[in-house]
């Protein structure tokens, strides 16, 4: 027990998004929400930590914070101009950069801390401090481009952590499996021409961003065939996700043999989420985590790190996250899913599963032949 490192910091819950109602700025005919703010709000993460404390699973994890990422760390991924503008606005009253990425005062410092948590989670696994790890990073990172924040993401947490690990010669080959329901366009763009990072994104087709994530986008130059997009149709559920992992993702990772597997761990493919139309459950994420750990055991001396991304249901994210942590740590302190029976009733029928099976057949031929 206590082989799993858990990285979090109360300050990450203090990141604010300003005067928005879900994803739209308040004004005109858009009324303020009672609670206010973006869909990406602190409660999903805070309620996960609260649930962990109530069940007692925190006692089975190595709980810790981290130092914020330094400017040198950020500059390995992001442009100087972008970072300076972000920092300057943050030191006054915050502002809005890019698309759907407003932030309050001190936003730069909190985003740097979020990246620092991801850096420590990944590097401590590579150093052998933990078998596996989970970083409750906030704000998230997988949409952020080098010079353009996007989709609630202000710094590219996973990419920053990978570049830091490379700078310390901790690993040479990385695999990022992104099961957030939205395409990991930032991670893709940063590593698109590189063979040392295999990026695999499973997402709802044309959800967000609407113009990225096509299966034909497979990298360029030396990075050809090292970028894999798996855009699933709306309505995909438990069986489709698990079949896709077994039949496409696992063979790709086995062929690549990375030094570490990093999961961009979003919980927004769950049925109870306001930003998607998928039908996954806490059990889906538990089994996906089990499969990822098996891959890590086989290919990279068990090295596995999960970095929190999206998930916007205050009600359900805590149970999805808890299921993942139960699986990672082997803890017997469980949080039963209160929606389990509802999910069983609402899974796709045979007609949809047949269609999904044909799609996975096509991807086996495209990516594995």
Write the DSSP assignment of 64-87 as a string of letters: E--PPPPHHHHHTTS-HHHHHHHH
> What's the average model confidence in pLDDT over 180-198?
98
Q: Worst-scoring range by mean pLDDT, 25-39, 224-238, 329-343, 349-363?
A: 25-39
User: What was the pLDDT predicted at 32?
Assistant: 85
Does pLDDT of 85 surpass 80?
A: yes
Instruction: Please determine, for residue 1, whether its predicted confidence score (pLDDT) is greater than 50.
Output: no
> Phi/psi class of residue 138: alpha, beta or left (left: φ > 0; alpha: ψ in -120 to 50)?
beta
pLDDT in tens, 255-305: 999 999 999 999 999 999 999 999 999 999 999 999 999 999 999 999 999
Q: Is 278 helix (H, G, I), strand (E, B) or coil?
A: coil
Task: Work out the average pLDDT over 39-63.
Answer: 96
Predicted local confidence at residue 99, as pLDDT: 87
Judged against a pLDDT cut of 90, whether residue 81 lies above it is answered with yes
Strand boundaries in the chain, DSSP class E:
4-7, 20-22, 24-25, 37-38, 62-64, 95-96, 102-103, 132-135, 174-178, 197-204, 227-232, 260-265, 304-308
In order, the DSSP letters of 167-222 are HTTS-S-EEEEE-SSS--HHHHHHHTT-SSEEEEEEEETTSSSTT---TT----GG
The first and second tokens of residue 299, run together, are: 């290919």
Least confident of 48-52, 94-98, 273-277, 330-334: 94-98
Residues known to be catalytic: 143
For residues 22-46, give the mean pLDDT: 86
Predicted confidence (pLDDT) per residue in 310-345, tens digit: 999 999 999 999 999 999 999 999 999 999 999 989
Instruction: Quote the mean pLDDT of the chain.
Output: 96
pLDDT score recorded for residue 18 = 76
pLDDT for residue 2: 65
pLDDT at 150 over 90: yes
Peptide bond into 368 cis (omega under 30): no
Give the pLDDT confidence of 160-172 residue by residue, as tens digits. 999 999 999 999 9
The top-level CATH class assigned to 4-20+29-368 is alpha beta
Instruction: Using the predicted structure, report yes or no on whether residue 175 has a pLDDT greater than 60.
Output: yes
pLDDT greater than 70 at residue 202: yes
Please check the confidence at residue 36 and state whether its pLDDT lies above 90: no
Of 97-101, 147-151, 352-356, which range is least confident?
Answer: 97-101
pLDDT tens-digit series, residues 64-77:
999 999 999 999 99
Span 204-233, average pLDDT: 98
The pLDDT of residue 35 is: 64
């Amino acid at each position: 027990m206590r082989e799993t490192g858990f990285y979090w910091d109360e300050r990450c819950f203090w990141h604010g998004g300003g005067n928005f109602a879900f994803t739209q700025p308040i004004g005109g005919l858009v009324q303020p929400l009672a609670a206010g703010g973006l869909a990406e709000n602190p409660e999903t993460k805070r309620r996960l930590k609260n649930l962990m404390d109530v069940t007692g699973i925190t006692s089975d994890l190595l709980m810790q914070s981290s130092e914020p990422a330094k400017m040198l760390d950020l500059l390995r991924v992001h442009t100087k101009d972008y970072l300076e503008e972000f920092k300057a606005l943050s030191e006054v009253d915050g502002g809005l950069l890019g698309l759907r990425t407003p932030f309050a005062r001190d936003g730069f410092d909190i985003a740097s801390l979020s990246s620092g948590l991801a850096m420590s989670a990944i590097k401590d696994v590579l150093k052998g401090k933990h078998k596996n790890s989970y970083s409750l990073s906030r704000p998230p990172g997988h949409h952020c481009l080098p010079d353009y924040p996007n989709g609630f993401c202000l710094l590219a947490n996973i990419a920053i952590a990978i570049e830091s690990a490379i700078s310390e010669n901790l690993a040479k080959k990385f695999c990022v499996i992104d099961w957030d329901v939205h395409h990991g366009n930032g991670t893709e763009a940063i590593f698109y021409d590189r063979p040392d990072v295999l990026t695999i994104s499973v997402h709802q087709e044309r959800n967000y961003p609407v113009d990225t994530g096509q299966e034909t986008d497979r990298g360029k130059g030396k990075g050809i065939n090292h970028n894999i997009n798996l855009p699933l149709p709306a309505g995909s559920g438990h069986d489709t996700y698990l079949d896709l992992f077994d039949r496409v993702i696992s063979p790709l990772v086995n062929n690549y043999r990375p030094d570490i597997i990093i999961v961009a761990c979003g919980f927004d493919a769950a049925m109870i989420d306001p930003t998607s139309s998928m039908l996954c459950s806490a059990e889906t994420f538990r089994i996906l985590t089990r499969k990822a750990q098996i891959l890590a055991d086989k290919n990279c001396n068990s090295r596995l790190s999960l970095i929190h991304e999206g998930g916007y249901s205050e009600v359900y994210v805590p149970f999805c996250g808890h299921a993942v942590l139960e699986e990672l740590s082997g803890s017997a302190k469980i949080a039963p899913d209160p929606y389990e029976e509802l999910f069983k009733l609402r899974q796709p029928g045979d007609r949809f599963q047949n269609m999904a099976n044909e799609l996975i057949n096509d991807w086996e031929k495209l990516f594995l032949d």
